[in-house]
Homo-oligomer: A and B are copies of this chain.
């Protein structure tokens, strides 16, 4: 496995104890760690340092974690940086909201050093694997999309998709590996804040699954959250 050390990680937390624990473990793994103790600092740091990963506590004085995340995602320079949210709360809707705003992963306090480093490694690996393709062609596992030709392939064979199915697949592929809530998908695929039942997304996911075929479920269901295209990059 490729060693991911040398990656730069920005840790954002206002509690000194937690901050130091995080810095300790991450440094030990060989990451270069920088810190911020509030939202404004986090944004400044993210923009200046362009870290490879951000670990962000939800509870911050002033601007809270959600807002930091939202601003990160809106800014061109930082919108692609993977973010792990950190929270003491376990509530389900916290998670949902986090994913909807664009978090890539989630850690609840208390956490073990092992859990931390595992998730960090996983995210860095994934980020490296996907060179953020706005390109002509997206390929993930057996599925491919030729955007110029507007064609989709599964296992090399062309798959006939309706316009909506095509867009849905495109969005899922672009955000492969990340959970997308039904609402996010609605927003991305139907673009407007259309008055459409979220259940409708299920229907189209089912249609896509059928058309793409294959034994392994390429589009995974994340119960209570939404869907995720399996990240199968080689």
A interface list, Cβ under 8 A from B: 16, 19-20, 23, 32, 34-38, 40-42, 44-45, 48-49, 135, 137, 139, 144, 146, 148-151, 153, 155-158, 162-163, 177-179, 222-225, 228, 234
Contacts and interface: CB of A to CB of B under 8 A. Distances in A.
A132 B234 CA distance: 34
A156 B228 contact: no
Contacts of A155: 41
A41 B44 CA distance: 47
Nearest to A162: B223
Taking chain A's interface residues, is the majority helix, strand, or loop, or is none over half, making it mixed?
Answer: mixed
A139 B178 contact: no
Given A41-B155, A41-B156, A139-B35, A149 B178 contact: yes
A148 B177 contact: yes
A32 B234 contact: no
A148 B222 CA distance: 12
A178 B148 contact: yes
A73 B150 CA distance: 25
Contact of A234 (B20, B41, B149, B153): B20
A16 to B, nearest CB: 7
Contacts of A35: 139
A224 B150 CA distance: 11
B44 A156 contact: yes
11 contacts: A16-B234, A23-B234, A34-B137, A37-B156, A44-B156, A48-B146, A48-B158, A162-B223, A162-B224, A163-B223, A163-B224
